[in-house]
Amino acid sequence: MQCGPYHWLRKQGKVYLVDLEKHSDAIDGTWLNRKGTVVAVKWRSAVSADKREAVLKAVGTAHNSELTALTPKEEASLSGSFPDKKAWFRGREVDELSREEARIIAKNTMNGYREKQLLKPSFEKQFEADVEKIYADLFLSLSSYKDLNTETYNRIEAQIQAAGEKYVGIGNMPHVELCIAPKLEGTKGESCSQATGKSCCDKN
């Protein structure tokens, strides 16, 4: 079953986009790649390297993480797809990726229940829709990686349990265990690109 880490990179990415764009005196726009692992920043003209470094450090510190530039080789490998709308997303567009991830997780969850022969055609689609909504509501509500804690996971497990029991009866729904997303760690890289006015910042 797909779970926390992959989606949380995306959601954490959206948080970065929102907070980076608060520095409108220095930043003209931000994008997140489809995998949610790289943020592209378009700097305003005449913004110094020191100012860029200060902005990235401030935003990273706010989320107990680190935003560092990609190596020239890594940046070159991504520049060909930028800013293709199918590969790069602005802040609000990332919400659709959250909904897409919720749909994927719901389908995978149903596959697991189907293998255990717990699903019936009479309620399978509605149960899948219930699980999708549970995850979508979670993903869209996150504002920080700190929101993904044991309490949150326990709440989601309970919600899925209750949703399933509507169809199979109380006590007949197997326990669902979710994966805990690890803390994101920054990686060291080169300073922001001076030539293009853009910087790709790695969040892996």
Tens digit of each residue's pLDDT (9 = 90 or more) over 73-119: 888 888 888 888 888 888 778 888 888 889 998 998 888 888 878 78
- Averaged pLDDT for residues 121-137: 94
How many DSSP H helices and E strands does the chain contain? Answer: 6, 5
Quick one: pLDDT band at residue 177, thresholds 50, 70, 90?
low
Tell me which long-range contacts 106-111 makes (C-beta under 8 A, separation of at least 24).
106/131, 106/132, 106/135, 108/1, 108/2, 109/1, 109/160, 109/176
Instruction: State how far the Cα of 143 lies from the Cα of 126, in Å rounded to an integer.
Output: 28
Tell me the residue ranges of DSSP E strands in the chain.
Answer: 27-33, 38-43, 68-69, 88-89, 198-202
pTM for the full model? 0.63
At residue 66, what is the residue type?
A: E
- Averaged pLDDT for residues 111-140: 89
Radius of gyration of the chain from its Cα atoms, rounded to whole angstroms: 20
Quick one: pLDDT band at residue 155, thresholds 50, 70, 90?
very high
At residue 52, what is the residue type?
A: R
- Averaged pLDDT for residues 118-122: 85
